[in-house]
Amino acid sequence: IDTGASFRDCLDTTLHGRPGLLATHLQTQLRFYERTASGKPAYREVYSIYTPSAQSGLVRADVDGDGNPDILHGNYWLRAPARWEDGWRLFALNTWFYQPRSAMVRIVALPLGGRLAAVEAESEASPARFAWFALPANPRDEWIQHDIAVPGGLHHPQVLVQGDAPGTVVAGEDNGPGSRLLRINLTTGEVR
């Protein structure tokens, strides 16, 4: 559907009733590849991100409570427009852009304490930054960071998904023979 593509994350999703694939081209351009009746590739540039760090991680969640699923992506969340023709708005989720690839993250969104929370882990770092972010009263403000302590640190996490119990996530490392699969309870801090 495209040439010269370079991305690590993609998400099969629907934007305003249009099924397609969301991908981060060159870790800076968020593109939506729409399925067309003709079979010809068609994409819309959702947003070009100009930041000191490459971006990864894609999740859909209704951040602002307007009923339209937004996009959580790297350091940012993008507010879905009311109509397909309108532009997406970009807001800071965190400031993990201190290195050229520090925003290359794994991300999951889940309810925590009755509100949306985002959990992020630097996927290319060892040890990796690992935190959950509370949605502030004004979702356009930077989210409130709560570091997650993992005994021995978290190393090159390549998997981060919501766990089987409320308030839990599962993280999987790519750390050679020392790789672990961890279950973390965000409310108690327990790591197993």
Q: How far apart are CA 35 and CA 177, in angstroms?
A: 41
Read off the pLDDT of residues 120-170 as tens digits, 9 standing for 90 and up.
999 999 999 999 999 999 999 999 999 999 999 999 999 999 999 999 999
Does 8 or 77 have the greater pLDDT score?
Answer: 77
178: helix, coil or strand? helix
Predicted TM-score (pTM) of this structure:
0.94
Tokens matching residue 157: 């996490």
What pLDDT is recorded for position 97?
86
Read off the pLDDT of residues 15-63 as tens digits, 9 standing for 90 and up.
999 999 999 998 989 999 997 888 777 889 999 988 889 999 999 999 9
Read off the pLDDT of residues 102-123 as tens digits, 9 standing for 90 and up.
999 999 999 999 999 999 999 9
Q: Which of 61, 74, 68 lies closest to 24, judged by CA?
A: 74
What pLDDT is recorded for position 8?
86
What pLDDT is recorded for position 65?
94
